[in-house]
Chains A and B, each alone.
Chain A
Amino acid sequence: MRPFAYVRPADVEAAVHAVATEPGAKFLGGGTNLVDLMREGIERPDTVVDVTGLPLDTVDDLPDGGLRIGALVRNSALAADPRVRAHYPMVPQALLAGASPQLRNMATVGGNLLQRTRCPYFYDTASACNKREPGAGCDALGGFNRGHAILGVSESCIAAHPSDMCVALAALDAVVEARSVRGTRRIPIEEFHRLPGDTPQVETALASDELVTAVELPAVPVAARSRYRKVRDRASYAFALVSVAAALEVRDGAVTGVRLALGGVAAKPWRARAAEEALLGGPAGEEAFRRAAEAELASANVRPGNAFKSRLAEATIVATLRELSTEGDAG
């Protein structure tokens, strides 16, 4: 691994100052992605600012009924939190569908937000990758692209965002809190991750000197009935081909509340607004679910290796909504 200076700041203030004065510095959380990327020579920080000792590891109630999740809460701890399990079941389901127990014990919420694509061409420094080296080209376009994105893609990049947790956060309108020497700002999750366009190296709205300090979940009553469904090549410990985070409320046969987001299909967790719009106020049923799914996937831009994802995403949306609409009474 390329050598770097290591600092362990005593508080958040010191952490953001350490990065503000060192352009080549990066924050280190659980390390499950950054250490791997540094070992591969893809991330090459001069200074690593270890934030794991900072007091950002609690889940606190918000006055409006939501939750404030510290950026350093470990994935396993968040999945076990009784408030998250009761009010946002799609969140622990997404977390528990991701990685392995060992990795979840290490990985933080902030790091999960900032994890980078597992596109094999991004990881292989001998391959062309516009994300790793802007202007170099993209070997995934005509290569092995079974795991790649089909929505919001560009000719520069078809990499998919790997997170499960973030898909649930997108469905819930989570807000990311970021801190820098300039102060604190709040970034809606849909604006946090970026589509590639012609700058696939820009993955988030975060400036290089900003530290994610928390994620806020607003009160979302409909999310008490929610599911995260993940489809992958093996039963566990694999990234999603397609995943769906969904919440559904049905009254008198009509959809009165819906949240829907997709994973594995875009460079960001994909909030399925077209499908939500198609469903809201209409009848709850197989035909409506299918039409909504088709509306969302209408803009899919597939390659030979990932053409199956369009149909798979539609089927997974329908199956998840069916499951939510047929179990127990609404409300």
Chain B
Amino acid sequence: MTEIRMKVNGADESLDVEPWASLLDTLRERLGLTGTKKGCDQGACGACTVLADGVRINACLALAVQYDGSEITTIEGVDHPLQEAFIRHDGFQCGYCTPGQICSAIGMLAEHAAGMPSAVGATGLTEDEIRERMSGNLCRCGAYNGILDAIMELR
């Protein structure tokens, strides 16, 4: 066991974790934060997206020990107008990918504001830009148009 300290959604947490425990499992099973979803568990779907020190990552491929000292934000700690926008624009159907979509979108807006480039290279956050920058989050219900509209409203 390795002792780690993290600030999760503003609360200081001190945990003994097995080095092979993923951040995703640690959040869900040790801290009871089941808002972050386990989709593929191999970095191919984005359902587990959380913010680590404000940067979006896949919690399934992150070992909790690697985030010792970090500040983690999960959907339970998010209070952002995107949440209302997702409801207004039907940005989900079953809802399983939604926590990851919202955390990812928050990270994406911050990346764009900081000048992070994308493969599209448009000026401003066009629809094409948002689709490319959100391509790490799959939605098997196909609510992409609603997700896009919700983010367009907040860009």
Interface residues of chain A, those whose CB is within 8 Å of chain B, are 1-6, 8, 28, 31-32, 35-36, 38-39, 48, 50, 52, 76, 79-80, 85, 92-93, 96-97, 99-103, 105-106, 235-237
Contacts and interface: CB of A to CB of B under 8 A. Distances in A.
A80 B117 contact: yes
A31 B66 contact: yes
A105 B46 contact: no
A102 B57 contact: yes
Nearest 9 Cβ contacts at the A-B interface: A100-B136, A6-B19, A236-B135, A1-B20, A96-B119, A237-B135, A102-B136, A35-B61, A102-B58
B46 to A, nearest CB: 6
A79 B43 CA distance: 20
B136 A101 contact: yes
A102 B66 contact: no
B20 A4 contact: yes
A85 B41 CA distance: 33
Interface in B59-75: 61-63, 65-66
A106 B61 CA distance: 9
A6 B18 CA distance: 9
B20 A106 contact: no
- In the complex, which of the residues A5, A50, A100, A236 has the most CB atoms of chain B within 10 Å of its own CB atom? A100
Report which residue of B2, B56, B115 has the largest number of chain A beta carbons within 10 angstroms of its beta carbon: B56
B43 A101 contact: no
B136 A103 contact: yes
B57 A35 contact: no
B63 to A, nearest CB: 6
A76 B116 contact: yes
Contact of A105 (B2, B57, B132): B57
A202 B52 CA distance: 35
A35 B63 contact: yes
Nearest to A7: B19
Nearest to B42: A36
Contacts of A4: 19-20
Given A101-B111, A103-B43, A106-B57, A31 B62 contact: yes
A101 B66 contact: no
Nearest to B19: A6
Nearest to B21: A1
Nearest to A82: B115
A102 B115 CA distance: 16
Given A1-B20, A100-B136, A80 B62 contact: no
Contact of B41 (A2, A39, A100): A39
A236 B116 contact: no
A102 B49 contact: yes
Given A31-B61, A52-B66, A236-B132, A102 B116 contact: no
Contacts of A48: 19
Interface string B103-126: 010011001000111110000000
B22 interface: yes
13 contacts: A5-B19, A6-B63, A31-B63, A36-B43, A36-B61, A80-B117, A85-B117, A100-B136, A100-B137, A101-B107, A101-B133, A105-B56, A106-B58
Counting chain B CB atoms within 10 Å of each CB, the highest count among A85, A93, A106 belongs to A106
Nearest to B56: A102
A39 B117 CA distance: 32
A106 B62 CA distance: 8
A25 to B, nearest CB: 13
Contacts of A32: 43, 58, 61
Given A80-B116, A100-B136, 5 more contacts: A6-B19, A50-B66, A92-B117, A103-B136, A236-B132
A235 B66 CA distance: 32
Contacts of B137: 100
A92 B20 CA distance: 32
Contacts of A35: 22, 61-63
A28 B19 CA distance: 12
Nearest to B68: A8
Interface in B1-58: 2, 18-20, 22, 41-43, 46, 49, 55-58
B75 to A, nearest CB: 15
Nearest to A5: B19
Contacts of A28: 63, 66
Given A3-B20, A102-B46, A236 B119 contact: yes
B61 A6 contact: no
